[in-house]
Amino acid sequence: GRSHGIHAEPMSFGLKFALWWDEMRRHKVRLAQTREAVGVGKISGPVGTYASVPPEVEETVCSELGLEPAPVSNQIIQRDRHAQYVQTLALIAASLDKFATEIRALQRTEVREVEEPFGTPGFVTTGSSAMPHKRNPEICERICGLARLVRGHTITALDNVPLWHERDISHSSAERMILPDSSLAVDYILERFTEVVKGMRVYPERMMVNLELTRGLPFSPRVMLALVESGMQRTDAYKKVQGLAMRTWDEGLDFRQLLRNDSEVTDAIGQEHLESLFDYTHFLRYVGHTYKRLGFNVPAKAS
C-alpha cells in the first residue's frame, strides 16, 4: 500500500480491486436512479397548462413510450434531470480515470507491479516509434483523457439548467454535443477498461521486491504499538521508532536490525516479540472479512 506515493502498510492486491468493484456497484445504483429521473415525458403545451391537449393524451403517449408523465412542466422537461445524467456519467468516468491512473502508476519501470495488456490481439503492439523497448500504458492513458472530456461536459450540463422563463433554446445546441459525446465516451472507456482488467499482467514477485525496498519500515506501526502496550508513553514510542526509521531512510540501514540493537526497544518488548512483529500476514488477516462484507465467497483461511 502507498499513501502520498510513499510506502505505507502492506495490503493485498485483491483488496484494491474490491474497492474498485464496490465503487462501480454504487455507480450502478446511481445509474438506476438517473434512469428514473430522466425517464419522463410531457405533452403539456407551450407553457405547461395543457391549453391545447388534455393531460390524458400525455399519459397515454408516455405510457406507450415507457415514460412517466412529468408531474409538472413548462415548455420542456427541466434540465436538472439531464444534468444528473451527465454528472452520473462523469462520476463513472472519474472512477475509471482513478483505476486507470493506478495501473499507470504501478506500470512505471521503477515499480512494475502490473501492466496493461501489450502485444496481444486488440491491444497496442508498439510503445514508441523511436524507442522499440517501450511498453506504454496507452489504453489507460486514453481512458484518463476521455474521462477529462466527460467531466468538462458537466459544466455545460449545469449551465443548461437556468433557462429564461418557460424556456429558451440556449441549451439545445449544447445538448446535441454533450449528451451523445458523454454517453459514447463512457461506453467506450468502460469497454476498454474491462479489456484491460481481463488481460492485465500482474507480477507478485515484483510486489515482494518492492515491499522489501524500505528494509522493514512498513512494520514501524506494529513496533510503536508494541512499545505502547509494554508501558511506554505513545509520544515516546513514536519518537523512538521514528528516530530509527529515519536512520533507515538516511543511512540505508536495516530497520529490524536497528531495533534488535536498541536496548530500550528489546528491554521493553523482548527479542522474540520483536521478531514476531515482522509478519506480513498480520496485515492481511481481515481481508477475508472485507470480502464477505461485499458478498464474495472466500475460503475459510482467507477470513
Alpha helices in the chain (DSSP H): 13-38, 55-65, 80-107, 138-159, 170-199, 204-211, 220-229, 234-251, 255-260, 263-269, 271-277, 287-293
Kindly list the distances between the CA atom of residue 36 and the CA atoms of 67, 68, 79, 211, 246, in Å, as whole numbers in the listed order: 9, 9, 14, 47, 56
Burial code (b: 16+ CB inside 10 Å, e: under 16) for 246-267 equals eebeeeeeebbebbeebeebee
Q: 282 catalytic, yes or no?
A: no
**Residue 128 bears catalytic tag:** yes
Cα gap 222→225, rounded to integer Å: 5
Out of 3, 4, 165, 173, pick the active-site residue: 4
C-alpha dihedral (251, 255, 260, 263), degrees to nearest 10: 70
Q: Which of 52, 128, 170, 276 is catalytic?
A: 128
Catalytic residue annotation: 4, 128
